[in-house]
A = this chain, B = another copy of it.
Amino acid sequence: MADTLTKFRELTTKLKQYSEILGLVYWDMRTGAPRKGIEFRSEAVGALSDDMFRLSTSDEMGELLEKLGQPDTYAALSAIDRRLVEETRKEFDRNRKLPPELFKEYVILTSQSESAWEVAKDENDFAGFSKYLERIVEMNRQFIEYWGVRGTPYDTLLDMYEPGMTTPELDRLFGELRSRLVPLAEAIRARGDRPDTSFLQSKFDIEAQKKLSRFILKQMGYDFEAGRLDETVHPFATGLSIGDVRITTHYYEHDLPSALFSTIHEGGHALYEQNISQELARTPLATGTSMGIHESQSRLWENMIGRSRGFWQRYFPELQKHFPGQFDNVTAEAFYRGINVSEPSLIRIEADELTYNLHIMIRYEIEKMLFNEGLAVRDLPEVWNAKYKEALGVVPKNDSEGVLQDVHWSGGSFGYFPSYSLGNMYAAQMLNTAKSKLPDLDGQIARGELQPLKGWLTENIYRHGKMLDPSEIILNISGEPLQSSYLCDYLETKFRDIYRLG
């Protein structure tokens, strides 16, 4: 058994190493790899991905998993090895169930489809994109057959991003969100008292924005010796290893909040990956446990901390220092209100913290219709527009600002969208417990003492990497399964105060 285990650990370490290197290649392609090298680089990525796929689905891997899965053997394994066997088997089963030719076709299709989507979005041409999307949906329906239907077909897709999450569960959660957040958003709109944001309509020196980004990341406890900050149009975070977690942001002279909150958001993702236990290094367990839990950390830091009154009590004077003269006539309170304007909008990525969840709810409902109710791709624009009208009271004037706005579906990522709202719900529930465990948390934040919170999150979330399922994490922290009420309570309290809804 020792040999079997050694061999198994070797293979999984190698999978981790390949994925580290692939992560670096992707980072490079997004941060400045020269244009003329992209074709060769893509081919090299294809070769390495192919090696990785072969390794993870090899007969050798199958035999090792078989041996290590024998009850006596399995029982004798360490907790880490048991988890490693489970996670590797999940990947193995998923990949082995697909006919390789089908998978290859899908990889090519989705890469072409992403380019087609870009063109279609630019040219407002849903019809041009829909032939790709139809095939992608059709293939995903096939995949679900191969993988096996869990409850409903859509559940099979959900499980990839949020292990254990189901449609009934999401129906309940989004139903509750709808019943509390739609009225809240309507009350805000009816109030008609938009906070002043005129002080944000100005030019903000890019060098000063960069300094501020680095300053705030350091305050959060982001370790620059285990990461770096670069610039890309679309900010992202990527954990190559525990010792190398990189983030990117973007700076616009006329949009200070954009850089600021992108940086904090990606910083939240990065704190998770930088603080995974060293015990898990060199294994594929050294990463976030799900998209939802990952998103909980970016959103907790970006919105619940970064857009909180207490945070700006401490950091507004720092902001003033970074942009001398530009905030002389603004108070911390006015700034806090200005960065928390909530209003219905058409574009998800520009939405505020409250209405964002309604954008996600719409996508969830549509995806479910696609996979569980046979909605046809050609009917998407109509359904999309009707749902926006109903939930947000706005209607896109064309498909580019409607059904074509997001990249996800062009890459075949169905079941991913719910992660964003799950992240918000997890975050609110976590923070509720954190406040009881760290009774002075609000005071600490208002004094810029962010390390107690980071420590608590590390202890309860970060260090575990992929050792615990999302449901175990939230249960361990709060003593109950995921609820929507914490998020609703948090948003109601925050926005009723900001909008003086009495």
Interface secondary structure of A, over-half rule: helix
B228 and A38 contacting across the interface, CB-CB below 8 Å = no
A281 and B40 contacting across the interface, CB-CB below 8 Å = yes
| Bound CA–CA A11/B303 (angstroms) | 50
Check if A227 is an interface residue, CB within 8 A of chain B: yes
CB within 8 A of A37: which of B28, B32, B226?
Answer: B226
A34 and B282 contacting across the interface, CB-CB below 8 Å = no
Check if A79 is an interface residue, CB within 8 A of chain B: no
Q: Which of A1-40 contact B (CB under 8 A)?
A: 13-14, 17-18, 20-21, 24-25, 28, 32-40
Q: Which listed segment binds B: A42-50, A144-152, A337-345?
A: A42-50
A228 and B34 contacting across the interface, CB-CB below 8 Å = yes
| Bound CA–CA A244/B48 (angstroms) | 18
CB within 8 A of A41: which of B35, B43, B228, B241?
Answer: B241
B28 and A41 contacting across the interface, CB-CB below 8 Å = no
Residues of B within 8 A of A241 (CB): 37, 40-41
Q: Which of A218-245 contact B (CB under 8 A)?
A: 223-228, 240-244
CB within 8 A of A282: which of B18, B43, B226?
Answer: B43
Known: A17-B48, A25-B21, A47-B17. A40 touches B244 (CB 8 A): yes
Chain B residue at minimal CB-CB distance from A33: B244
Q: How far is the CB of A44 from chain B (nearest CB, A)?
A: 4
CB within 8 A of A36: which of B17, B25, B37, B225?
Answer: B225
Chain B residue at minimal CB-CB distance from A19: B44
B37 and A244 contacting across the interface, CB-CB below 8 Å = yes
Q: How far is the CB of A276 from chain B (nearest CB, A)?
A: 12
A36 and B243 contacting across the interface, CB-CB below 8 Å = yes
Chain B residue at minimal CB-CB distance from A27: B28
Q: Which residues of A contact B (CB under 8 A)?
A: 13-14, 17-18, 20-21, 24-25, 28, 32-41, 43-44, 47-48, 51, 223-228, 240-244, 246, 281-282
Add 7 more A-B contacts to A14-B47, A37-B241, A40-B243 (CB < 8 A). Answer: A17-B44, A34-B228, A34-B243, A35-B226, A36-B242, A40-B241, A41-B241
